[in-house]
Amino acid sequence: MSHAFATSVLHVVTGTTETVTDLTADCERFLARHAGSGDGLLNVFVPHATAGIAVLETGAGSDDDLLAALHALLPADDRWQHRHGSPGHGRDHVLPALVPPHATLPVIGGRLELGTWQSVCLVDTNKDNPERQVRLSFLG
C-alpha cells in the first residue's frame, strides 16, 4: 500500500468584519491536484490563535447564525482579561475553544466526503487581523 502526503497553504483575506469564509472549493482544488483517485484524510488547520475551522451549511443563513451565536456566547465587551487590540478582542482568543483550529475530513476516490449541505469554513471573529493562512494537508 503506498502512502502519499501533500500540503499547501491558502492565503485568505477575511477583512475587518467577522466572517465565515467557505473553503470547500479550495479544498476540492487541492485534492484534485494531490489526491488523484485515492482515499485518505484531508486536514484543514488555521495557525492563528483567533480563528477556527467549522463544517456547516452556508448560504442559507447558518453562517450568519453561527456568528450571531458566537457573539451571544462571546460578547465583544470589556469582560475579557486579554485586552490588547480592539475592544472585546479577548473573546477572539476564546473562539478556538468553541470552533477548533482544525478539521480532519475523509477523502474517498479523491473527493471530499461531505454531507449534502456541509461546507468547510474558516471562522474569523478577529477584526484586527484581515489576512489568514490555512494549511491543507492530504494523507492518503
Residue-wise pLDDT for 64-89, tens only, equals: 999 999 999 999 898 988 878 888 88
pLDDT exceeds 60 at position 91: yes
Phi, psi values for residue 92, rounded to 5°? -65, -30
**pTM (2 d.p.):** 0.94
What pLDDT score does 20 carry? 97
**Cα torsion for 73, 77, 23, 56, to the nearest 10°?**
10
pLDDT exceeds 50 at position 1: no
Among 3.40.640.10, 3.30.1490.100, 2.40.37.10, 2.60.120.460, name the CATH number for the domain at 5-139: 2.60.120.460
R_g of the chain computed on alpha carbons: 16
pLDDT band at 22 (very low <50, low <70, confident <90, very high): very high
The one-letter code for the residue type at 123 is V
Phi, psi values for residue 115, rounded to 5°? -70, 170
